[in-house]
Amino acid sequence: MAEEYIAYPVEIKVISQKGYCGQGHKVGEEWVWTFELGNPKTPDICPSVLPAMYRNLWLLSFGGTFAWPTPDGDTCHIVCPDPYNPVIFELKRLKDAESHVRYSH
């Protein structure tokens, strides 16, 4: 019997930016990360913060849950690694999006 998986899109939004961001990120910027088998679509986000958010993008995309409390289970916050000029990103699983993808194997 084949198992079925759903890959949800994840909205990424800049919710706070202090100091100088070398990548130029500003509050209100938004992207949507989507998974395609063998080819996840990575948005044009600072390469320093992508490693920090990547595991959470996968977790949210495939319906996982966090080991710590979150406001709704579908949202988390990631802070860029620059402690002097922090940018905070919100990642939100888009459960109701029609663009989710079903996989089976």
Residue 5 binned pLDDT confidence (cut-offs 50, 70, 90): confident
Q: What is the pLDDT of residue 14?
A: 97
Spatial neighbors of 38 by CB under 8 A, at least 6 apart, are: none
Task: Count CB-CB contacts under 10 A for residue 53.
Answer: 21
Q: What is the pLDDT of residue 35?
A: 76
Q: What is the pLDDT of residue 69?
A: 79
pLDDT at 103 over 90: no
The amino acid at residue 37 is L
For residues 54 and 91, the model is more confident at: 91
State how many domains the chain has: 1
Spatial neighbors of 33 by CB under 8 A, at least 6 apart, are: 9, 10, 11, 12, 40, 41, 42, 43, 57, 61
Which residues form the domain of 16? 4-104
How does pLDDT run across 15-74, given as a tens digit for each residue? 999 999 999 999 999 999 887 766 666 778 898 998 889 899 989 998 888 888 777 889
Task: Count CB-CB contacts under 10 A for residue 50.
Answer: 14
What's the predicted TM-score (pTM) here? Answer: 0.84
Rounded mean pLDDT, 70-88: 91
Q: What is the pLDDT of residue 99?
A: 63
Cα 92 from Cα 83, distance rounded (Å): 23
